[in-house]
Structure 1
Amino acid sequence: MMATATLSSHVLAPPTAAAKYRGAVVEDLQLPPAFTVQANETISRAIEQAYERDFSHIPVLNSRRRPLGYIDVSRLKSEWEAGTTDASDKVVNYMTKFKRTASEPYTLITPYTPLAELEEFLTHNIFAIVTDPSRLFVVALATTQDLEMFVSRRGF
């Protein structure tokens, strides 16, 4: 008697975020150090430094190094080239301010945050500012592209 095998049509469900990242945390992304600007920095200097480092968004910090918001480098550059801004204008006048309200609380992202949590955060945000656990300084920026590169490198 000969045994025959049949293939059933099983559809594999996509892995959950936790399974997809296999317990990895933000630190595993090996992100480059963050580039930030002070609120009183000129837009010309901010744009120049952003292009040198290939950053599309830059966190803006106050004098105590706390994040206030961010600048969208391409939008700022377009405004500068269109003549609607002056090179000596301060970035604080062109930044998008972070909203910190009871309905939109601050989400702490640290090097030890699981990638599944980062992925969820990035479904509603352009990027994540990674800080130390005490929120004293900015460590890095993380994007969905960083997660995609991580997954492709690891072959998940």
Structure 2
Amino acid sequence: MLKNRSYLLGIGTGIIVGALLLQVMSVRASAPGKSGLALDEMDPQKLKEETAKYYQVFDLGTKMYTQAEVDASVQKKVKEETDKLAAAKPQDQPKTETVVRTVVYVQPNLDATAVSELLVKSGLITDRKAFATELQKQGGNSKLQVGFHVFEGQMDMQQVVSNLITSQQ
């Protein structure tokens, strides 16, 4: 009997699982549904309420749109609104000139050549030697202020040097 122990264990487990499945099937067959009504016995309103729990339910006359149709409709509305705004905007207003604002940070212990390199890279000056001579003329080699310096629009060399020498608050 000990030799066939695994076979007996398998047969016993199979019988138990089979009995449980048979019991579940018989209970399920006797119950008509959760609501107690079969699908044939429900009126259309009750059927709609029951299916609305699990699905989106729409009336037959409701128009359904695909994503492509919605996107096309939105694009059409956006185009109409931009056309309205363009028509409402007066064309006789002069265009304002935008001022280019450049901010340069001068670090501590930077000499005049490093500052001139920084200004050339930012596009404020084009000639390093002219900047160095103007800086010497104004006596600013040792007076360069550390911090942020704001340059608006096109500035000549004297304005750039005076901006770097004066204190920024």
After TM superposition, the score normalised by the length of structure 1 is: 0.24
Whichever structure has more strand as a proportion of its residues is: 1
Mark the structure with the bigger radius of gyration.
2
Q: Which has the higher contact order (CA 8 A, sep 6+)?
A: 1
Please report the TM-score for the alignment, with normalisation by the length of structure 2.
0.22
**Which is helix-richer, 1 or 2?**
2
